[in-house]
């Protein structure tokens, strides 16, 4: 077995790879990058960065490899809940071991991430997607995106989504609070139609949140200049889904949003 060994729960890895299960990413290549200092595994769609999800993992070595995402998702989904997989990179392949089973998925080992000058095409794509989100958001959200700021704070048990006015405008504040109160009620019932209309029905984490809404506590409160929705769950899979959903919204909103992660 190689020196770069990490251990990750199969259901957690499968949830991170869930976007690969549906079109248009059924042929997606994903990059796995393990940070041993943080004990976190980044799972990223390699070509355009359509999704990037960090999950808890333990191990050593700076493991980094690109593999077929749907194939790895299908494999991770076959293991029992709470099964822990041992991952290594051997001869340009990702090797997955559990109990007596060993599976190899051919891949491409990565020495380092691409340099910034090589990502110009990706940056143009991201800007185009953010413009489309802003246009769709104007039809769903009653407040002005250019006069408000979204905030997505990830927390160990879930997270906080907030929207506040950037110029202390009382009308914008009232519109934000009205919208978030309604959305909080919908979210608590598993209804995520509004964000899906803005960001797409295949947002990372969304399917899990809709299917298991009863496992998530959703509360709303006014804050200075706007409002916030608090999401909390004791289920690590639901927390992962919430974080993936937050990350997708943060990336889509671009300059209209900020994010933070509380360890």
Q: Where are the beta strands (DSSP E) in 146-185?
A: 148-155, 158-165
Residues 145 and 28 reside in one and the same domain:
no
Of the three residues 109, 141, 174, the one that is the final residue of a domain is: 109
Residues 45 and 127 reside in one and the same domain:
no
Q: What is the pLDDT of residue 118?
A: 40
Of the three residues 109, 129, 149, the one that is the final residue of a domain is: 109
Q: Which domain holds residue 171?
A: 119-261
Phi then psi dihedrals of residue 143, to 5 deg = -90, 170
Q: Which are the contacts of 48, defined by CB distance < 8 A and separation ≥ 6? A: 122, 125
Residues 227 and 164 reside in one and the same domain:
yes
pLDDT tens digits in sequence order for the chain, 263 residues long: 446 789 999 988 988 888 887 655 557 899 999 988 888 898 988 876 667 788 889 998 888 999 999 999 999 989 987 899 999 999 889 999 998 899 999 998 765 444 444 444 444 444 555 555 555 555 568 888 889 999 999 999 999 999 999 998 999 999 999 999 999 999 999 999 888 787 677 778 888 898 899 999 999 999 999 999 999 999 988 998 898 888 888 877 777 788 877 65
Residues 23 and 59 reside in one and the same domain:
yes
If phi over 0 gives left and psi between -120 and 50 gives alpha, with beta otherwise, what is residue 178?
A: alpha
Residues 53 and 167 reside in one and the same domain:
no
Residues 185 and 204 reside in one and the same domain:
yes
Residues 77 and 185 reside in one and the same domain:
no
Q: How far apart are CA 5 and CA 60, in angstroms?
A: 6
| H or E stretch at 45 | strand 40-45
Residues 146 and 88 reside in one and the same domain:
no
- Give the chain's domain count: 2
Instruction: Specify whether the CB–CB gap between 237 and 12 falls below 8 A.
Output: yes
Q: What is the pLDDT of residue 262?
A: 61
Residues 158 and 200 reside in one and the same domain:
yes
Of 189, 199, 228, the C-alpha closest to 140 is: 199
Of 22, 49, 44, the C-alpha closest to 33 is: 44
CATH number for the domain harbouring residue 35: 3.10.150.10
Of the three residues 87, 109, 131, the one that is the final residue of a domain is: 109
Instruction: Specify whether the CB–CB gap between 13 and 96 falls below 8 A.
Output: no
Q: How far apart are CA 183 and CA 31, in angstroms?
A: 34
Does a structural domain hold residue 114? no
């Amino acid at each position: 077995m190689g020196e770069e060994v990490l251990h990750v729960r199969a259901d957690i890895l499968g949830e991170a790879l869930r976007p690969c299960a549906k079109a248009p990413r059924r042929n997606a290549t994903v990059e796995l990058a393990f940070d041993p200092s943080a004990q976190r595994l980044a799972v990223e769609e390699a070509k355009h960065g359509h999704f990037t999800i960090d999950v808890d993992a333990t191990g050593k070595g700076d493991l980094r490899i690109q593999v077929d995402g749907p194939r790895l998702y299908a494999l991770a989904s076959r293991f029992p809940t709470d099964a822990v997989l041992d991952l290594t990179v051997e001869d340009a392949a990702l090797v997955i071991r559990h109990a007596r089973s060993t599976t190899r998925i051919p891949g491409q080992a990565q020495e380092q991430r691409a340099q910034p000058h090589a990502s110009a095409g990706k940056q143009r794509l991201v800007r185009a997607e953010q413009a489309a989100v802003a246009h769709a958001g104007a039809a769903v959200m009653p407040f002005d995106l250019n006069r408000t700021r979204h905030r997505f704070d990830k927390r160990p048990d879930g997270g906080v989504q907030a929207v506040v006015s950037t110029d202390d405008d009382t009308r914008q504040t009232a519109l934000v609070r009205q919208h978030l109160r309604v959305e909080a009620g919908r979210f608590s019932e598993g209804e995520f139609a509004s964000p899906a209309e803005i960001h797409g029905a295949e947002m990372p984490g969304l399917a899990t949140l809709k299917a298991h809404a009863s496992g998530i506590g959703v509360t709303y409160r006014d804050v200075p200049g706007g409002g916030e929705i608090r999401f909390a769950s004791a289920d690590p899979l639901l927390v992962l889904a919430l974080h993936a959903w937050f990350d997708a919204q943060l990336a889509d909103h671009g300059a209209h949003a900020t994010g933070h992660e509380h360890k």
